[in-house]
Amino acid sequence: MRILPLLLASACALAFAAPASAQFAATLGADYSHISLSNGGGDGNIWTVNGAALASIPGIGFNIQGNLGYNNLSGGGDNADGWNGGGAAFWADDMFRIGATANYDSVGADGFHVHFTNYGGFAEWFAGMFTLGVKGGGVSVGADASSFGSGSTTGSYVGGEVAGYAMPDLAITGTIDYASISSLHETDFTPQVEWLFSEDVPVSVYAGYTYSDVGGEGISENANTFFIGLRFYVNGNGSAALIDRQRTGTVGWGTAFAPLARAL
């Protein structure tokens, strides 16, 4: 498995490229998801590894972040591989983070390839033991298939997030994401729980569920996705609570674009 070393190398490259006065943070993760489709669509398994690294310049609150990830989908005797990469530039202080983001996703299998490019913005507000977030932007989609040639289309996306910290090391998060691409539309609802094992050993476990509703162009599909994974935080000196590591580390949901179509 060469993926994790690649992510670690990318994080180190960003750190060494940053100015000497910059501060560095990174997050590495791996998870397993099981998707079940309605209307006899079957089910599938997804294994994912991803990482993000940022360099922040103290004094002005400016940050640059890079993201990289890989996933493998298997189901019904088929396999597909996906890669994604991108980044963000944002301003942050003790109360908020706001900035712009762009990402590229590529999913391919035998005779078929689809790619997504999303671009937009996000904002997070730290209100005591709660974090409130919004994001939105545009997306372009291209597809190539040996059976019918190639094509492209455009769309948009928007989302909202509420994260509450029942304890400093326990986060309970709810998100809603909506994407409209051509005449297709999708709404995703995701509750998630994350727990940091130890403030001295920054490894957390998280688990959650996503309900997806997809419609348009004669398509009506629902999907249930259950996922579980681990995250490793690299930020701060010494021990720190989950709430602090998330608010001073890399941006997660705000920079992500993950409609069900990416996994299908």
Work out the pLDDT band at 2, boundaries 50, 70, 90. Answer: very low
Write out pLDDT tens, residues 201-213: 899 999 999 999 9
Which domains are assigned to the chain? 3-263 (2.40.128.130)
pLDDT given at position 11: 45
Name which of 210, 188, 206, 225 is nearest 34 in CA terms: 225
Write out pLDDT tens, residues 95-120: 999 999 999 998 877 767 888 999 99
In this model, does residue 252 exceed pLDDT 90?
A: yes
Q: Is 235 within 8 Å of 164 (Cβ atoms)?
A: no
Work out the pLDDT band at 13, boundaries 50, 70, 90. Answer: very low
Work out the pLDDT band at 254, boundaries 50, 70, 90. Answer: very high
In this model, does residue 3 exceed pLDDT 50?
A: no
Work out the pLDDT band at 184, boundaries 50, 70, 90. Answer: confident
Segment 167-185 shows an average pLDDT of: 94
Measured distance CA(26)–CA(250) in Å, rounded: 6
pLDDT given at position 113: 82
In the chain, the percentage of residues whose pLDDT exceeds 90 is 61
For 190-225, letters b (16+ CB in 10 Å) and e give bebebebeebeebebebebebebbbeeeeeebebeb
Segment 150-165 shows an average pLDDT of: 92
Work out the pLDDT band at 245, boundaries 50, 70, 90. Answer: very high
Query: 134: which 2 tokens?
Result: 């919004």
pLDDT given at position 16: 44
Query: Could you tell me the sign of the dihedral formed by the alpha carbons of 207, 101, 128, 62, in that order?
Result: positive
CB neighbours (10 Å) of residue 183?
Answer: 12
Residue with tokens 């989302």: 159
Q: Dihedrals φ, ψ of 82, to 5°? A: -130, 140
In the chain, the percentage of residues whose pLDDT exceeds 70 is 85
Residues facing 165 on adjacent strands = 171
CB neighbours (10 Å) of residue 19?
Answer: 7
